[in-house]
Homo-oligomer: A and B are copies of this chain.
Amino acid sequence: MTPAHLHPQAHAHSPRLATSADAAAAAMRAHGLRLSAARRLVLEAIYTAEGPVKADEIAGGLDGRLPRSDLASVYRNLETLERLGLVRHVHLGHGPGRYERVGPRRDYLVCERCQSIASLPCEQLEAARRAIVQVTGFSVRFDHFPLTGLCPGCSGSSEVDRASR
């Protein structure tokens, strides 16, 4: 039903996708799965987006950057790709999950006052994780649920400001 727009210059325009598509194709074959157009599209979306994206954003075609697709299939494919280790999902607060490619992991910090989001490579919080394993015995990660709190700006503000919301 929507075959035509998928194949054009994937190589010229999406270098990173080309690579991931290869990796994906390999993973697919290794598991006896098919690399369908819809599947390729989800991968393309994950690699086109700057950060973690919502399923409905993928289905919506990322603001016209990609063709739209069926939401249920998007979810099914995200699950498949997660199982294959090509994609993972994170939470940046309440609301829908966000999906991103598996790669260098980042931790996300969400300000509960101004909602600003910061992120940084996981390694930078290694000391904090060590402090936690030392006290609790748990080897924790900060990269699935968000770290919430006050951003530098909001934690520095006055009591009056803080009371205003």
Contacts and interface: CB of A to CB of B under 8 A. Distances in A.
B125 A147 contact: no
B145 A149 contact: no
A154 to B, nearest CB: 9
Given A138-B111, A139-B149, A145-B145, A125 B118 contact: no
B138 A127 contact: no
Nearest to A155: B139
A144 B147 CA distance: 9
A109 B144 CA distance: 13
Nearest to A137: B152
A128 interface: yes
B139 A132 contact: no
Nearest to A142: B147
A65 to B, nearest CB: 29
- Which of A109, A125, A129, A140 is most buried by chain B, counting CB atoms within 10 A of its CB? A140
Nearest to A111: B138
A141 interface: yes
A2 interface: no
Interface of A: 91, 109, 111, 118, 120, 124-125, 127-129, 131-132, 135-142, 144-152, 155
